[in-house]
Amino acid sequence: MIERTVFGEQHEQFRDTVRRFLDKEVAPHHAEWEEQGYVDRSVWTKAGANGLLCLSMPEQYGGSDADRLYSVVMFEEIARAGFTGLGFGLHNEIVAPYILSYGSEAQKDRYLPAMARGEIVGAIAMSEPAAGSDLQGIRSTAHDAGDHFVLNGSKTFITNGWHADLVIVVAKTDPSAGAKGTSLLLVERGMPGFEKGKRLKKVGMKAQDTSELFFDNVKVPKANLLGDVNRGFIYLMQELPWERLQIAISGIAAAQAAIDWTMDYTKERKAFGTTVASFQTTRFKLAELQTEVQVARVFVDRCTELLLEGKLDTATASMAKYWCSDLQCKVIDECVQLHGGYGFMWEYPIARAWADARVQRIYGGTNEIMKEVIARSIGLAAR
Q: Is 125 helix (H, G, I), strand (E, B) or coil?
A: strand
> How far is it, in rounded angstroms, from Cα 295 to Cα 325?
14
Q: Could you tell me if 59 and 100 are in contact, meaning their C-beta atoms sit under 8 angstroms apart?
A: no
> How far is it, in rounded angstroms, from Cα 383 to Cα 375?
13
The separation between CA 126 and the C-alpha centre of its own chain, rounded to angstroms, equals: 14
Distance between first and last Cα of the chain: 45
> How far is it, in rounded angstroms, from Cα 270 to Cα 275?
4
Known catalytic residues are 243
In sequence order, what E strands does 160-302 have? Answer: 166-172, 182-188, 194-199, 210-221, 225-226, 270-271, 274-275
Q: Is 148 exposed, middle or buried (0-12, 13-18, 19+ CB in 10 A)?
A: middle
